[in-house]
């Protein structure tokens, strides 16, 4: 490889810009590369049948020999989910705090990657050298325990990346965000701040996690029925507060839903979740207890069809049934796009007679992200020379840049970038100098990247009007079997026999026409059949199923 | 038909209960039936390829000789959209206020039903006799002009149905909801109140439409660029206020989007929209004016892919391009389920450099539905003996019943009902006495009801993993052509040649096995092929496409 003449720092976000999801940022200085976070995102409604979405890692694969490690800020899917997929391409060491590493290890175990992977647990205030980089970990608060910001230093520049954060003066684990260290680093001099933009549209400050615990205590008071609380499995502190409220009210706790069980187990083993002896019971034993002796912590706060609470809401949960008077608490906000599903679950619970408490009506959830006033504090403490907003849709990034400017940063020192943008940074400048390969890679089943636009376009077409096939066997240009017509997802065949028969006649007529015109090119014959059927079916139904003519030769 | 012994009033909602959509309520007394509203709803995400959803009208079709008319409260799709489909089944007269009738007539024209339909325009305070019923129309405020509540009287009982409403003391057309008449009717005695539940979860009162006009005036002040305002086409008063603000700022108005053009035209012709001469310009002439001379009123406030604003946001609007500094106002809230699409359009507009004002950040929209304090007023004025909440998802209906009880109504006088519930009412009781046929009818293209669960299930399956077909021509049990394998929406074939070849071999092996086992029943052969392919493809890809074996005989 050519000698690196350029001694500036390059920063290349491969995910997380213009979106909330699949965070992955590349830092590159001379021969060395480090990666901050390596997450996935979930498919949108146009990605038919897709399970998860990865950032395009071509740039990393092309430079794999230069990568010194992956540094992880916290254990959410959009920060750790793509690590197994990265490790399948290259074996690079992973650096993360204890809980984050525990959650990563659960994934590596699933993917059979535990034996060969190199993992190093770090603590806040630790500083590690990775090639020409030094990375410092700084405690922050977030909706998952053990979250950190990172300060990335090299000879060319110092960058502070907040990761996802909020400011909580009374966090459950008493580990307040290390504001003094932010201030010190700010005083030493920061060339670039990269900060979480999720809640930049919201005024004021995000409430302390502790406020939710207080609310649980009030809600549990005097309740004689079963209590079910749904929340994100990864929100260990929320689960802790549910446990605390349960204990204070003499109730046992049962945990339900695969991810809730897995995360709770890891968090308990690592000392992040403290459940007094005798409190935890197996969900299968729930009917051995009276309703007023039980709190169930469940997945399903986003209305996910297969999650525990969603199954309870439709009476399909095996271990017990929600009955009239049961208290159900949604301790989460619907993520945009999930509103309809969440409200459907709430409606179903009301139909079963449950008392349902949800965010629209009560303070049973707080966000994990800083609002405007918290962002102002961090900007002020860090006092960076340049600013790039991260972790936000485009409008949020734009609002965050406006906020930086309102605090006195010159417009030319701020930069809104896209996934793939190559940023070049030194003590004096921060510029967009080009584009690295970037984009998305779709995971469907065990296939990584084998579903692209053509397949998605076909799935969309099939989902809208179904498929209409016509099969003909030819011998020397003459029809010897068929035409058979078969449809799926188009009309209910038994009630549309006449239409199907007419369609067969249309095909026969088209075949005769081809014979008369002496058309022998199969592609032309197929095209004639397709056109004739498309016209006929559209006229009859105003629908355009995918039409697939299949010719066989004997 | 048998003599009607029962002289109680029956009320049968065929839509609008447990949902916001397809409102249709049947009132039945002795031999006579009237219908209040006849709306559609829009498909949810499980209704692949469906255009609109109708209430099941079987009960009406079975009783068509007894129907005396359709009474319509206002011109929104969920109250008028199914009228053409009803009229295709039976010719019954339609009663509606002037603007509502104008919008209905647009639909009847589209469906070729104008000539034969019987339409009568009514005004607030009118009372009409329909068989044994008397129907009185009462002015209400809503997000469309000319909305009314109805008081339905027969010898058995008096029912007040609010339709959709809010209380606006300063409406744009100065037609304040007729609260004195609500009070008078209440004093005369109401046996049953049926009231709008949409905003029952929101405290306080809904602001006056006029507050939005004030905000437009402030936002337009000092702007030198083009202004685009997106709102619902049917919100005539909103459009009027945009026009007023435009005129006050010396700007012309261009209207964009098919529904916006149609509704504005109807509203102007009927005198509901007042655009001063010389103010309206054709959108195609927009480039003849300077940016500061123009306001564009556009569809697309819900992020609908094909609407005018969505096309502007991606630079695909023919008549002009949004450029840096243009002001775009979203004068609407995202309807649940549309959030992601709306924010995508907002993000795209920000990318073009537009200043975007939307509800999260500014008061540019008010709802058309009463909040808690307004509902309390109506309940108090009407002072009904019984109460059935309408126009709401289940949790809203439940909250609305709680509200009635909090005002002193005995629990046993309130009733939450479903679509299809037959309610029997007289001076002394209001009871659920059974169930009429009810449900949904899906409209896809020109087909009404020909897409059912099997077709939807197939479309879902096809959308997730696509289709995999295998075609074989047999002669006396021996393969003479094929097997050919063809897939769509499964994998990108060019990059998966090996998989396709292996699949063909799997089919060949299965065919040989069938021959060896002397299986000649085609259904059994197909089943063997399907099983072999399903196993193979799942093992290779962890996906389960629809597998379709097709056998031909020569």
Q: What is the per-residue pLDDT for B3?
A: 43
CA dihedral A337, A338, A341, A344 (to 10 degrees): -100
Gyration radius of chain A's alpha carbons: 29
Element (DSSP H or E) covering residue B401: helix B394-406
User: pLDDT-derived band of residue A245, with 50, 70 and 90 as boundaries?
Assistant: very high
Most confident of the ranges B242-246, B484-488, B492-496: B242-246
Q: What is the per-residue pLDDT for B481?
A: 81
For residue A129, give every residue at least 6 positions away whose Cβ sits within 8 Å of its Cβ, in sequence order, or none: none
HEC per residue, B217-261: HHHHCCCCCCEEEECCCCCHHHHHHHHHHHHHCCCEEEEECHHHH
**Residue among A10, A4, A20 at smallest CA distance from A389:** A20
Distances (CA, A) of B213 to A61, B216, B222: 56, 5, 16
Cα dihedral sign, B116-B122-B128-B133: positive
For residue B498, give every residue at least 6 positions away whose Cβ sits within 8 Å of its Cβ, in sequence order, or none: none
Q: What is the per-residue pLDDT for B496?
A: 80
Cα B355 from Cα B341, distance rounded (Å) = 18
Q: What percent of chain A has pLDDT over 90?
A: 86
**Token pair for B538:** 């799942």
- How many residues does the structure list for chain A? 554
Instruction: Say if B491 is an interface residue toward chain A (CB within 8 Å).
Output: yes
- How many residues does the structure list for chain B? 554
Cα B187 from Cα B384, distance rounded (Å) = 9
**Token pair for A215:** 């609310």
Interface of A with B in 512-541 (CB under 8 A): 540-541
Q: What is the per-residue pLDDT for A490?
A: 93
Q: What is the per-residue pLDDT for B262?
A: 93
Give 3-state DSSP helix, strand, coil % of chain A, rounded to 5. 35, 25, 40
Mean pLDDT for the stretch of residues B207-222: 95
Q: What is the per-residue pLDDT for B1?
A: 41
Domains located in chain A, CATH noted:
9-204+367-429 (3.60.15.10), 210-357 (3.40.50.10710), 453-553 (3.10.20.580)
Residues B149-174: pLDDT tens digits?
999 999 999 999 999 999 999 999 99
Mean pLDDT for the stretch of residues A398-427: 96
The yes-or-no answer on residue A173 being catalytic is no
Strand pairing of A127-130 and A133-139? Answer: antiparallel
CB distance A525 to A553 below 8 Å: no
Residues A486-505: pLDDT tens digits?
999 998 777 788 899 999 99
Q: What is the per-residue pLDDT for A6?
A: 56
CB distance A178 to A151 below 8 Å: no
pTM of the model: 0.91
pLDDT of A3 higher than 70: no
Cα B392 from Cα A522, distance rounded (Å) = 56
Is B76 annotated in some ligand binding site? yes
- Average pLDDT score over chain B: 94
CA distance B183 to chain A (A): 31
For residue B362, give every residue at least 6 positions away whose Cβ sits within 8 Å of its Cβ, in sequence order, or none: B215, B219
pLDDT of B2 higher than 60: no
Mean pLDDT for the stretch of residues B435-463: 93
CA distance A360 to chain B (A): 8
Q: What is the per-residue pLDDT for A2?
A: 42
Residues A263-287: pLDDT tens digits?
999 999 999 999 999 999 999 999 9
Tell me the chain B residues in contact with residue A352 when contact means C-beta distances shorter than 8 Å.
none
Residues A8-46: pLDDT tens digits?
999 999 999 999 999 999 999 999 999 999 999 999 888
**Residue among B233, B238, B235 at smallest CA distance from B215:** B238
Binding residues of A: 49, 51, 74, 76, 78-79, 142, 164, 233-235, 365-369, 391, 444
Q: What percent of chain B has pLDDT over 70?
A: 98
Q: What is the per-residue pLDDT for B424?
A: 97
Task: List the single range of A404-408, B361-365, B395-399 with lowest mean pLDDT.
Answer: B361-365
CB distance A276 to A286 below 8 Å: no
Instruction: Say if B550 is an interface residue toward chain A (CB within 8 Å).
Output: yes
ipTM of the complex: 0.89
Report residue B117: phi and psi, to 5°.
Answer: -80, 150
Residues A449-460: pLDDT tens digits?
888 899 999 999
Q: SS3 for A301?
A: coil
The yes-or-no answer on residue A274 being catalytic is no
Cα B36 from Cα B13, distance rounded (Å) = 9
Out of A343, A456, A473, closest to residue B473 by CB: A473
Q: What is the per-residue pLDDT for B6?
A: 57
CA dihedral A421, A425, A428, A431 (to 10 degrees): -10
**Residue among A218, A208, A195, A280 at smallest CA distance from A238:** A208
- Average pLDDT score over chain A: 94
Task: List the single range of A118-127, B275-284, B329-338 with lowest mean pLDDT.
Answer: B329-338
């Amino acid at each position: 490889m050519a000698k690196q003449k350029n001694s500036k720092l390059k920063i290349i976000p491969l995910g997380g810009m213009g979106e909330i999801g699949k965070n992955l940022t590349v830092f590159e200085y001379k021969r060395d590369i480090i990666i901050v976070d390596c997450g996935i995102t979930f498919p949108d409604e146009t990605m038919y049948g897709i399970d998860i979405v990865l950032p395009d890692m071509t740039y990393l694969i092309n430079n794999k020999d230069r990568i010194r490690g992956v540094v992880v800020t916290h254990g959410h899917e959009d920060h750790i989910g793509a690590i197994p997929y990265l490790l399948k391409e290259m074996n690079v060491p992973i650096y993360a705090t204890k809980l984050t590493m525990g959650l990563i290890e659960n994934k590596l175990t699933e993917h059979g990657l535990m034996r060969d992977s190199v993992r190093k647990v770090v603590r806040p205030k630790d500083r590690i050298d990775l090639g020409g980089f030094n990375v410092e970990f700084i405690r922050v608060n977030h909706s998952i325990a053990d979250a950190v910001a990172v300060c990335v230093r090299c000879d060319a520049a110092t960058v502070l990346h907040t990761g996802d954060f909020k400011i909580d003066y009374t966090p459950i684990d008493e580990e307040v965000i290390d504001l003094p260290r932010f201030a010190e680093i700010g005083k030493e001099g920061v060339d670039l701040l990269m900060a979480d933009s999720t809640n930049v549209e919201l005024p004021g400050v995000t409430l302390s996690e502790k406020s939710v615990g207080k609310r649980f205590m009030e809600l549990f008071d005097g309740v004689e029925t079963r209590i079910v609380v749904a929340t994100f499995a990864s929100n260990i502190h929320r689960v802790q507060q549910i446990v605390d409220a349960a204990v204070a009210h003499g109730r046992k706790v049962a945990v339900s839903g695969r991810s809730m069980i897995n995360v709770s187990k890891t968090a308990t083993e690592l000392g992040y979740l403290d459940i007094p002896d005798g409190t935890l019971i197996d969900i299968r034993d729930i009917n051995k207890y009276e309703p007023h002796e039980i709190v169930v912590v469940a997945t399903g706060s986003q209305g996910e069809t297969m999650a525990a609470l969603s199954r309870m809401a439709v009476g399909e949960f095996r271990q017990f049934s929600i009955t009239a008077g049961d208290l159900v608490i949604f301790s989460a906000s619907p993520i945009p796009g999930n509103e309809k599903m969440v409200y459907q679950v709430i409606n179903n619970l009301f139909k079963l007679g449950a008392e349902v408490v949800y965010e629209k009506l009560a303070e049973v959830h707080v966000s994990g992200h800083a609002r405007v006033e918290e962002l102002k504090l961090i900007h002020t403490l860090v006092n960076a020379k340049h600013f790039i907003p991260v972790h936000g849709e485009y409008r949020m990034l734009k609002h965050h840049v406006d906020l930086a400017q309102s605090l006195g940063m010159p417009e030319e020192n701020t930069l809104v970038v896209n996934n793939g943008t190559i940023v070049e940074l030194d003590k004096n400048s921060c510029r967009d100098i080009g584009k690295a390969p970037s984009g998305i890679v779709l995971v469907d089943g065990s296939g990584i990247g084998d579903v692209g636009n053509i397949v998605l376009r076909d799935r969309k077409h099939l989902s809208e009007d179904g498929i209409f096939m016509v099969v003909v066997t030819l011998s020397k240009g003459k029809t010897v079997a068929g035409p058979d017509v078969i449809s799926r997802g188009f009309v209910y065949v038994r009630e549309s026999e006449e239409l199907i028969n007419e369609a067969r006649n249309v095909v026969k007529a088209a075949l005769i026409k081809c014979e008369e015109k002496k058309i022998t090119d199969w592609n032309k014959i197929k095209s004639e059949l397709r056109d004739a059927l498309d016209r006929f079916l559209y006229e009859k139904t105003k629908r355009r199923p995918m039409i697939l003519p299949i010719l066989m030769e004997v």
